[in-house]
Amino acid sequence: MSKTSAYNFDTLSLHAGQAPDTQYGARAAPIYLTTSFVFKDTDQAAALFNMERAGHVYSRISNPTNAVLEERIAALEGGVGAIAAASGQAALHLAVCTLMGAGGHIVASRSLYGGSHNLLEYTLPRFGIETTFVDPRELDAWRAAIRPNTRLLFGETLGNPGLDVLDVPRVAEIAHAAGLPLMVDSTFTTPYLMRPFDLGADLLFHSATKFLGGHGVAIGGLLVDSGKFDWEKSGKFPTLTEPYSGFHGMDFAEESTVAAFLLRARREGLRDFGACMSPMTAFQILQGMETLPLRMQRHVDNTRKVVAHLASHAAVESVSYPELESHPDHALAKTLLPKGCGSVFSFVLKGGRPAGRKFIETLRVFSHLANVGDAKSLVIHPASTTHFRMSDEALRASGIHEGTVRLSIGLEDAGDLIADLENGLRVSQKA
């Protein structure tokens, strides 16, 4: 699809990155289930390997089906390009390892998905990359945590599970004043609810497993580059601005003035780490993205009804959702998320963990599993599952209590969801 920037979001979600197949006229994106691609001749083979011609060599590096998905998410986010990875975690790891190595430092929000927190706090330090966690609302804390060896600021557009709203414009200002990029995990918001690049972010990634795919059938990640950060001017990223002996002495910033990050991430990261996306997965996520605007609006509408019910319920201590005036980020959410605050939120149930267990085991419409962003409604107890590796101190700092329950509101009839929750709440409070 040419001149994608001329089209609006709903059209891009259906058409960006793909036109009808020229050979057979197929309207859907073909699935190129192949490991590799036949060269026309030796000259073409050499040119492809040396990046003198566009094309595909090996599906670990690039694939035509994956390319459609990459172009589509880049168009929806307003970025210059994207890389499809095996999972959201793979996308995060790819970004970090493209920017830095041993001796690097990250400043991150402490309100993160448990897997991301584990990677940053426990795994990456084994490889010499350290992270300082800060309260996402404390802007001075972000500024104070930056060190001479800091190479990245990182947060979630909506923190998991407390729904902290990241002040993307102001955190971006802090990052840029220090010559650093801001990367955000945009999984909970999707480009339908927020486009972080428009607010100052430089890099973003999605767990495409969640809302982008939308149906709980495929695991994948997408890493997107705004193309706006000046790596040369920063002077802090030799991986992008100095010759790389692992690829014929290429200076990536010189080779690609707008997408140096993506070029190295693909030519080194996908090649060496190997966490690529299957073309079948890319196809499945593309099907989900075609209905993204419709689904996200229904997700938000249903969530508002459920939140209103829980917020006034006698069995509920508190509800954490930014559209409520009681939420500390209510005013910020009105500015940054005018279309809504998504469909994932948490609430604190009276009676702690025992009540939470009764509640979850009573539900029939909600599925008890470790995922969000499904067309079906989901429930989980974070302290004992998704965030169980975190210390008690870290849990408290992230706003997670023994009675915290996380919901992901799906596309079912809102009345049925409320009736199911009401039954669970009633049972949870029985002695």
What is the distance between the alpha carbons of residues 153 and 248, in angstroms, rounded to a whole number? Answer: 31
**What is the pLDDT at residue 32?**
96
Q: What integer pLDDT is reported at residue 49 of this predicted model? A: 85
Q: Are 173 and 153 in contact (CB under 8 A)?
A: no
- Residue 92 DSSP one-character state: H
Query: For residue 395, is pLDDT > 90?
Result: no
What pLDDT score does 392 carry?
Answer: 63
Spatial contact of 372 and 188, defined as CB atoms under 8 Å apart? yes
Domain parsing of the chain, residue ranges: 4-288, 292-428
Query: Quick one: average pLDDT of 274-286?
Result: 98
Dihedral sign from CA coordinates of 405, 409, 414, 419: negative
Percent of the chain with pLDDT over 70: 94
pLDDT for position 4: 55
Could you give the strand order of the β-sheet that contains 81-85, starting from the edge strand earlier in sequence? 81-85, 221-225, 203-207, 182-185, 150-156, 105-109, 130-134
pLDDT greater at residue 404 or residue 290: 290
How far is Cα 270 from Cα 351, in angstroms, rounded to an integer?
Answer: 47
- Contact between residue 425 and residue 316 where contact means Cβ atoms under 8 Å apart: yes
Q: CA-based angle 304:305:308, to the nearest 5? A: 85
* pLDDT of 74 strictly over 60: yes
What pLDDT score does 357 carry? Answer: 87
Q: How many CB atoms lie within 10 A of CB 133?
A: 21
**Residue 123 confidence (pLDDT):** 97
User: Which tokens belong to 282?
Assistant: 């890319």
Checking if the pLDDT of 5 tops 80, the result is no
Cβ neighbours around 213 below 10 Å, total: 25
Q: Domain 292-428, what fold?
A: Aspartate Aminotransferase, domain 1 (3.90.1150)
Per-residue pLDDT averaged across 115-136, rounded? Answer: 96
pLDDT above 60: residue 272: yes
What's the confidence (pLDDT) of residue 2? 46
Q: How many Å apart are CA 373 and CA 139, to the nearest integer?
A: 29
Residue 316: half-sphere exposure toward Cβ, Cα within 13 Å: 19
Locate tokens 């557009």: which residue? 157
Cis peptide bond N-terminal to 161, omega within 30 = yes
Whether the pLDDT of residue 125 is over 80: the answer is yes
Whether the full predicted model's pTM is greater than 0.85, yes or no, is yes
Task: Give the number of other CB atoms < 10 A from CB of residue 371.
Answer: 16
Strand partners, 154: 108, 183
Mean of pLDDT over the chain: 93
User: Which residue, 247, 270, 281, is CA-closest to 58?
Assistant: 270
The torsion defined by the Cα of 71, 74, 79 and 81, in degrees rounded to 10, comes to: -40
Q: What is the predicted pLDDT for the residue at 6?
A: 81
Task: Tell whether the model's pLDDT for residue 114 goes beyond 90.
Answer: no
418's tokens? 């409320």
- Is the Cα torsion angle 29, 31, 35, 41 positive or negative in sign? negative
Tens digit of each residue's pLDDT (9 = 90 or more) over 94-104? 999 999 999 99
Q: Tell me the three state secondary structure of residue 244.
A: strand
Q: What is the pLDDT of residue 353?
A: 82
Tokens of 411: 């596309």
Identify the pLDDT of residue 391: 64
What pLDDT digit, counting tens, does each position of 283-313 carry? Answer: 999 999 999 999 999 999 999 999 999 999 9
- What would be the CATH architecture of the domain defined by 4-288? 3-Layer(aba) Sandwich (3.40)
Residue 28 banded pLDDT, cuts 50, 70, 90: very high
Please write the tens of the pLDDT for every residue from 142-192.
999 999 999 999 999 999 877 999 999 999 999 999 999 999 999 999 999
The tens digit of pLDDT for each residue in 225-255 reads 999 999 999 999 999 999 999 888 899 999 8
